[in-house]
Structure 1
Amino acid sequence: MKFDIPIARSMVVACLLSLSLPVVAQEPVLDQLDQAREKGSLEVAVYRDFPPYSYLDQGQYIGVDVDLAKAISQKIGLPLRLRTIIAGDDADDDLRNNIWKGHYLGGGVADLMLHVGMDPQYVKRQEKADLIGPYFHEAVSIAYRPGRYKNMATPLSLVGTKVGVELGSMADLYLSGAYGGRLRTAAERLPTAMAAVQAFANDEVDAVMAPHGELQGLLKIIGGPPIETRTTEIQGLYRTAWDVGMAIKAGNPKLKAAVLDALAKLQQSGELQAIFARYGIDYVAPEMAVAAAP
C-alpha cells in the first residue's frame, strides 16, 4: 500500500507524540454517598405541589415525602438538601432530569428521589437508575358519604352520579375507559386532586376518586366530611394499585446500602408509619420485597 508523503509523515509524527505522552491514570469515580459527604448534604428530590406528600405551607415545604427525606438523611448522618421538582411528561423524564443525567438547563442531579412508581416491569427495564426501597402501597379509591349509595359492590354503582377526578389522572382514565366506557359520564374533571376533594367536601359531587393515601391526606388538610372508601379492582389495561419507592443513579452501591438501611430502621421502629399517620394516611405496607443492598 502506498501513502502520500505528507500523510505518511503526519502518521509518523503522531506515533512519536503518542509514545512521548505520559500515561495518566484515571481516578475512580466516587460513590454518590461519598460525593454527598464531600458536599456536606444529601440532596433529595420530591415533587412540588403534591399534597399531602410534598407541598408548600406557610413558606415551608411539608408532607410525607419531605418528612421521610429528613428522616433518611438523619439516619445516614447528613443534613438534608431538598430539591422540589415539577413532574415531566412521564417518569422516564423525571428520572433522567433528576437522577442520572440532569436537566438540559443545568442544575445537576439529586442523590435520591422519592415517590417513584415501582411497577415490576418498569423497575426491570431501568438501566441508568436503580429503583429501590418501596415504602408504601397505593391504590385508587372511591370516597363517598355514608348512605349516599345503597350498594357499592362495584364501581358500576357510580353510573348516573357525579364523581370528582383530577383531569388526566389514573382515576380519570379509569372512569373514561373501564367497563366499556359505562362510567365516562360520571367523571367531573377538575384541575387538581385537591380541587376534586374540595368539590366533594362542598357536596358539589357525589363521590371523589383518587389514590387512597392522597384522598385521606387531602381530606385531612381541608377538614373534609366523614367518608367511606372503596379500593377499586384492576380492570383490563388499567393498573389501579402500585408500590411507591425511591430512585438513585445506577452504580452507587454504598448509597443504595445506606438508603435501604435507613428505610429498614424507619420501618422497624414505626417511624415510617408515624409519618403517614401525621398526615391522616393509613399506612399500607408495600407488596414488593425490599431488595437487599449489595
Structure 2
Amino acid sequence: MKKVLSLVLVVCLSVTMLCACGSDSKTEAKKESDKTLSMATNAEFPPYEYVDGDKVVGIDVDIAQAIADKLGMKLKVDNINFDSIIPAVTSGKDQIGIAGMTVTEKRKKSVDFTDSYATGVQAVIVKEDSKIKDAADLTKKGANNKIGVQLGTTGDLYCTDDVENAGLGKVEKYNKGADAVQALVSGKIDCVVIDNQPAKEFVKANKGLKILDTAYKEEDYAIALAKDNSELRDKINNALKELKADGTIQKILDKYITAE
C-alpha cells in the first residue's frame, strides 16, 4: 500500500512540475513577446522600404527602429504583400503596419492609426511622349486610360474610385510597383499612379519615363495598429513626438530623400 501511495505521490509531483515548467515557458515566451515590436511592411516601396542584400531597409524601418529604441523593444521586420499588412495587424500576427501607409476612412474601419510621421504625394508616371499631360486628365470627361497601380495602395483605392468606378478608364492592379512600371514600359498601360518617392526611383531606372508636374493626391503617412491596442498606440505617439522634437525623424528623411 505504501508503494502505491509513493507511486501516486511521484506521479502527482511530476505532473505538478510539468505544469509549472509549462507555465514558466509560457511566461518567458510572453515576456520575450512584450520586448519585441513586430512590424509588417512591404519592401517594394523605395526609399520607404526596400531590400538591400538580405535586409529590409528604408525610411519606415529606421523610424520603426527609433520607436523601438524609445520603447526599449527589439524590432522584428515582417516583409509581406502590401494588401496583407492590415490583416496581419488585425489578426495579431504583427503589432504594427508601416509601409508608406496613408490614413483613409476605409482603412480606419479595420485598424487604428498613430499620428502622422511624414507627408506623401501620389504621383503619375507616364512615357515622355504620353498624351496624358496633367493628373486631371485621368478623371476628365471622356477619359479612357489604363492605369497601373500597386494592389492595396492608396493609388489603387483612389484610382478605383475616381476612374474605374466612374467609368473613366480601367485600373490594372499589380502586386509590385515595379511590375506596374514594367507594364507601362512595355505599352500595356498608359500610366502608373504611385507614391512620389518610389516613382522617382522607377523613373531613374527606366529611360523614356517621366513624372507629371501635377500630383494625383497628397496624403499623410501613419502607423497602423489593431483597434484594441490603444496602449501601444499612445506609447508610439509619445515616441513620435519626441523623435520629431529632437530632429530624429527629419534626419531619417534627409538620409534617404535628397533635395533636387
1:169-194 alpha-carbon deviations (Å, 9 max, x no partner)? 3365247525x31223xx56555211
Residues 147 and 247 of structure 1: CA distance in aligned 2, closer, same or farther (over 3 Å): same
Contact 1:141 1:210 in 2 (8 A): yes
CA–CA separation in structure 1 for the residues paired with 2:229 and 2:135: 47
Distance in structure 2 (CA, Å) of the matches to 1:278 and 1:223: 23
Residues 46 and 114, structure 1, Cα contact 8 Å, conserved in 2: yes
Identity across matched positions, percent: 19
1:103 aligned residue: none
1:247 aligns with 2:229: no
Flag the structure with higher helix content: 2
Report whether the alignment pairs 1:72 with 2:67: yes
In the superposition, relative to structure 1, how do residues 204 and 280 fare at CA in structure 2: closer, same or farther (>3 Å)? farther
Q: Distance in 1 between matches of 2:158 and 2:49?
A: 20
CA–CA separation in structure 2 for the residues paired with 1:153 and 1:47: 28
Q: Which of the numbers 41, 45, 57 marks the counterpart of 2:39?
A: 45
SS across alignment from 1:215 = helix
Task: Report the AA paired with residue 183 of structure 1.
Answer: G
Whether 2:111 is the aligned partner of 1:133: answer no
Distance change >3 Å, CA 62–CA 207, structure 1 → 2: same
1:173 aligns with 2:160: yes
Query: What is the match of residue 239 of structure 2?
Result: 262
TM-score, with length taken from structure 1: 0.56
Structure 2 Cα separation of the partners of residues 203 and 278 of structure 1: 34
- 2:134 pairs, out of 152, 157, 166, with 152
* Shift in Å, 1:248: 5.4
Q: What is the alpha-carbon distance in structure 2 between the residues aligned to residue 203 and residue 269 of structure 1?
A: 47
- The aligned amino acid for 1:275 is I
Residue 46 of structure 1 contacts residue 66 of structure 1 at CA under 8 Å; is this kept in 2?
no
Is the 1:216–1:280 Cα contact (8 Å) retained in structure 2? no
User: 1-side partners of 2:195 and 2:69: how far apart?
Assistant: 29
The answer on whether the counterparts of 2:149 and 2:174 sit within 8 Å (CA) in structure 1 is yes
Secondary structure at the aligned position of 1:143 is classed as strand
Q: CA deviation at 1:209?
A: 1.5
SS for the counterpart of 2:179 is helix
Cα distance between partner residues in 2 of 1:268 and 1:217: 29
In structure 2, list runs of 5 or more residues that go unmatched: 1-29
The change in CA–CA distance for 1:244 and 1:229 in structure 2 (over 3 A counts) is farther
Please tell me whether the aligned partners of residues 171 and 209 of structure 1 are also in contact (alpha carbons under 8 angstroms). Answer: no
Cα distance per residue 1:206-237 (max 9 Å; x no partner): 532123344345446x366553342236xxxx
Alignment of 1:1-294 (within 5 A): 41-52=35-46, 53-87=48-82, 91=86, 93-98=87-92, 109-115=93-99, 117-120=102-105, 123=108, 130-144=112-126, 148-149=130-131, 151-152=133-134, 154=136, 155-156=138-139, 159=143, 163-166=147-150, 169-170=156-157, 173-174=160-161, 176-177=163-164, 180-184=166-170, 187=171, 190-200=174-184, 206-216=190-200, 218-219=202-203, 222=205, 226-232=210-216, 241=219, 243-247=221-225, 250=228, 253=231, 255-280=232-257
Match of 1:12? none
* Long gaps (5+) in structure 1: 1-34, 99-108, 234-239, 283-294
In structure 2, how many angstroms separate the alpha carbons of the residues matched to 1:278 and 1:259?
Answer: 22
SS at match of 1:141: strand
- 8 Å Cα contact 2:144/2:168 also seen in 1: no
Q: 1:219 to 1:170 in 2, by over 3 A?
A: farther
Q: In 2, are the aligned partners of 1:139 and 1:232 still within 8 Å (CA)? A: yes
Q: CA RMSD in A?
A: 4.1
Q: C-alpha distance in 1, partners of 2:98/2:50?
A: 14
**TM-score by structure 2 length?**
0.62
SS in structure 2 of the partner of residue 181 of structure 1 = coil
